[in-house]
């Protein structure tokens, strides 16, 4: 009888401890330097959680190795709800598939807590290009097989893989010219050094609006509220074609389910506010509202879609 009472008290204590989470400050790791889009979302979300949870939420930038260093640190943290990671699509759905021995598994080492938005890419060409849509690009590339080129913001980036996904859909031969980031790739495009680039709407749309480059399509299944004039690539002979970048909140595997569920609710509530929706859409994003089951399905689709391109093109990073 005494043992049963002790066991019941221990269970009650454990339940109470979980119900009282959080009782101390929370750390939010960002595996990139300060100032980027993922870091910006981390600071908005950290402020929101700090208000709703009643505890400080400190953002900690741990950049390096294409996001692997910070991602691994977050995955190896104690699964107690006090270390979270505000991560991006690259370190979770792309980079592990290009490494011979990845230090974490995106489906087993971490749990997806919330992905408030996704950002489609724009398929853009120089302003002086005669091309006006994705159909025209396909016809041009076929007529100039092996002569055209495309820029990307780096090997293995969503920019690179989205282009490969598109080119392989049509069997096109176009040379890849990788750059170290969006700014130099866009500079090369403006100067007509490159024929086409798939780039985040966040960085490329200002140049589109200035008339320095032209958008042929957007890599979302529907038109974007900020770019209603740009037709989806999927409506231009590539049904089902989609490609996104995104940032989202993750926790170490084994984090108690009530904590995961609460963080999911709080994050979705933030994205649903008019101010945050406006911020997301103004930066080229699309607001998402995914529960935990939808998040898991989304992650699996992303991993499989990028993995298929990586395997087909045999894209690898140095270990």
pLDDT tens column, 139-191? 999 999 999 999 999 999 999 999 999 999 999 999 999 999 999 999 999 99
CA distance linking residue 166 with residue 138, whole number of Å: 10
User: Per the structure block, which two tokens stand in for 271?
Assistant: 């994205």
Domains and CATH numbers, the chain: 24-118+245-313 (3.40.190.150), 120-235 (3.40.190.10)
What angle (nearest 5°) sits at the alpha carbon of residue 165, between those of residues 162 and 168? 145
How much is the pLDDT for 19?
Answer: 55
3-state secondary structure of 117: strand
How much is the pLDDT for 294?
Answer: 97
3-state secondary structure of 315: coil
CA distance linking residue 259 with residue 256, whole number of Å: 6
- Say what the pTM is: 0.89
- Please say whether the beta carbons of 65 and 34 come within 8 A: no
3-state secondary structure string across 239-257: CCCCCEEEEEEEEECCCCH
- Please say whether the beta carbons of 134 and 212 come within 8 A: no
Low-confidence spans in the chain with pLDDT less than 50 = 1-2, 4-10, 12-18, 319
How much is the pLDDT for 36?
Answer: 85
How much is the pLDDT for 12?
Answer: 47
**60 alpha carbon, distance to own chain's centre:** 19
């Amino acid at each position: 009888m005494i043992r049963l009472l002790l066991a019941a008290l221990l269970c009650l204590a454990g339940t109470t401890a979980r119900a009282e989470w959080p009782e101390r400050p929370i750390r939010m790791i960002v595996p990139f330097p300060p100032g980027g889009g993922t870091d910006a979302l981390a600071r908005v979300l950290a402020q929101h959680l700090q208000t709703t949870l009643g505890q400080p939420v400190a953002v900690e930038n741990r950049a390096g190795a294409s996001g692997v260093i910070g991602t691994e640190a977050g995955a190896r943290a104690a699964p107690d709800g006090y270390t979270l990671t505000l991560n991006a699509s690259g370190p979770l759905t792309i980079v592990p598939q290009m490494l011979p021995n990845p230090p974490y598994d995106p489906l087993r080492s971490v749990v997806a807590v919330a992905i408030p938005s996704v950002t489609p890419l724009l398929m853009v060409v120089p302003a002086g290009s005669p091309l006006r849509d994705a159909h025209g690009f396909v016809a041009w590339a076929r007529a100039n097989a092996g002569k055209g080129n495309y820029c990307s913001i780096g090997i293995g980036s969503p920019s690179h893989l989205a282009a490969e996904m598109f080119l392989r859909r049509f069997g096109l031969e176009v040379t890849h010219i990788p750059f170290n980031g969006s700014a130099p790739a866009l500079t090369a495009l403006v100067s007509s050094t490159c024929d086409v680039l798939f780039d985040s709407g966040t960085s490329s749309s200002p140049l589109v609006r200035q008339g320095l480059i032209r958008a042929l399509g957007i890599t979302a299944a529907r038109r974007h509220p900020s770019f209603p004039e740009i037709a989806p690539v999927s409506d231009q002979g590539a049904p089902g074609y989609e490609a996104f970048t995104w940032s989202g909140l993750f926790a170490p595997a084994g984090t108690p389910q009530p904590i995961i569920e609460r963080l999911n609710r709080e994050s979705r509530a933030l994205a649903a506010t008019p101010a945050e929706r406006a911020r997301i859409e103004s930066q080229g994003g699309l607001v998402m509202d995914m529960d935990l089951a939808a998040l898991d399905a989304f992650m699996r689709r992303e991993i499989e879609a990028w993995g298929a391109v990586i395997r087909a093109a045999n894209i690898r990073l140095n270990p």
